[in-house]
Every structure is written in C-alpha cells, then in structure tokens.
Amino acid sequence: MSSQTRRFEGYGVLITGAARGIGEATARRLAAEGARVMVTDLDAERAAKTAKDIAGADSTGCDVGDRAAVEAAVGHAVERFGALDVLVNNAFSCSPDTPLLEDQPDETWGRDLDTTLTGAFRCARAALPHLAASGRGAIVNIGSVNAEQDFGNHAYSAAKAGLASLTRTLAGDAAPRGVRVNQVNPGTVRTPSWAGREARLDALARVYPLGRVGEPEDIAAAVAFLASRDAAWITGTTLRVDGGLLAVNTSFADVVEDG
C-alpha cells in the first residue's frame, strides 16, 4: 500500500472471529493500511498464529458468548494500542437445519443467535466508550445475504437479520457520540469452511451475475471503506457485497432465455 492509501495509520482495531476467512482478510487489509489490529478468536492458538504473520498485530482468545471475555479482549486492545478506533464484529455460528423445523433443538438455535447477534451486542457494549473517546470510532458488522432472502439456516439467518436491525438502532444511539455503525452483507465467499466442497462453489458461481463467488478480500475491501473516513457521512447502512445475487435473478433469467 502506498502512503496515500494508509487510511488507518495509528488506528487501533479489534476484529472478532479473525483467525481465518473474512476476519483474517480484514485484519490483513486494515493492517496493510496502517492499523494496529487485535486478532481475536475463540481459537486463541489459531489467532496467535494469524497475528504473527501480520505486521503490528496482536492477538487474544475471545469467546463472544462470555461478557467477561469480551471486556477483557477490549481492555487488552486499548492497553496494547492506547485507544480503540474500529470494531469489526465478524464472529458467528451457523448450525445446519434439521430436516423438519420441529426437530430443531433449542441448543443450536440459541448458540447461533447468542454468538452471531448477542455476541456483536456484547462487543459493541464493551467497545463503545472507547470508540467514542477516539473521535473517529466506527463499528462494522459482518452480516449476510441470508438476512434479506431465504437461503436456509433458520437460526443463522434470523441472527443476521437481527444484526441488521441492531446496526440501525445502534447507529442512532452512537451517532451523537461520533461513532458510526454499518454492516456488510456478503454473498457466498470462498472461506476455509468450504474446504472439500469446491465443486459446490463452482456450481454456485453460475447463479451469481458477476460469474464467481466472493473472496475474503472482497469483503475486507468493503469493511475498510466503511471503517475509514472515506465513509465519514455514512451510518446505519447495510452494504451488499454479493456479486449482484440479490439484485438479479440469474437462474430465472436463464430459464426464460432457454424457453
């Protein structure tokens, strides 16, 4: 990155679920633009390994389902960096649906909502005073197209829809303190969770108007924009980064053309 693109010089950033995938790509992108990044993850060992390869990064284990762990992670970031300017809520849980809704156990439903939605709330609650004190605070939540349309996964989708609502209400609450809150809704992204299912990704690429699934770096670029001062007059917004999936029904159009 050139000096002109180091938008996060001197920033302190905390990212949840950052040991791999979208979180890792976001950590690398913000660090490349000058940020000091706290890589947090439920898997503390993996978080440490990821942070070791990122200049200026540190790491700590963090279970977003545990208020004390969240507050400790935020405190560690503030102590390490002297301030906290950006929070990226990326941690999530996505349990497979049961064949029949009535067979879905409370445990999996509760885990998905607690990690994906309430976990983001816990992190925002702990970070907000520090973000307000920084004078340039921003929260970026990682949502999903599942928040807007049916792609399965009842609990995960409900949690991501709730996260979009939290983004809006928190934006209103935080705005008087100078903190912006936005969300990115990715479509299908080639992350480690798809390992062994590359053929499925190739098939999914055909339903995307832009002809491919997303890469973690696509999402990281959107997060970097929303977290930066380039988005200084944007708050309460959900940005789709989905290759046109929700705007264009490619499968329907193909059937019409074939007919």
Of 11, 49, 160, 208, catalytic: 160
11, 52, 156, 208: the catalytic one is: 156
pLDDT in tens, 64-118: 999 999 999 999 999 999 999 999 999 999 999 999 999 999 999 999 999 999 9
What is 28-79 written as a DSSP string? Answer: HHHHHTT-EEEEEESSHHHHHHHHHTSTT-EEEE--TT-HHHHHHHHHHHHH
Domains of the chain are 3-196+215-246 (3.40.50.720)
Q: Phi then psi for 15, rounded to 5 degrees?
A: -125, 130
Q: 38: which strand partners?
A: 14, 58
Given CA atoms 11, 13, 19, 25 in this order, what sign does their dihedral have?
Answer: negative
Q: Strands 86-89 and 180-186, how do they pair?
A: unpaired
The β-bridge partners of 184 are: 142, 239
Is 160 catalytic? The answer is yes
Share of the chain above pLDDT 90, in %: 91
pLDDT at 1 > cutoff 80: no
Closest alpha carbon to 139 in 81, 169, 183: 183
User: Any long-range contacts for 195-198 (C-beta under 8 Å, 24+ apart)?
Assistant: none
pTM recorded for the entire structure:
0.94
pLDDT tens-digit map of 183-242: 999 999 999 988 889 999 999 999 999 999 999 999 999 999 999 999 999 999 999 999
Residue 127 has φ and ψ, to the nearest 5°, of: -85, -25
Annotated active-site residue 49? The verdict is: no
Q: How far from chain centre, in Å, is Cα 63?
A: 15
Tens-digit pLDDT profile for residues 180-197: 999 999 999 999 988 889
Mean pLDDT for the stretch of residues 14-29? 98
Tokens of 231: 């988005």
Instruction: Give the tokens for residue 190.
Output: 């080639």
Predicted confidence (pLDDT) at residue 23 exceeds the cutoff of 80: yes
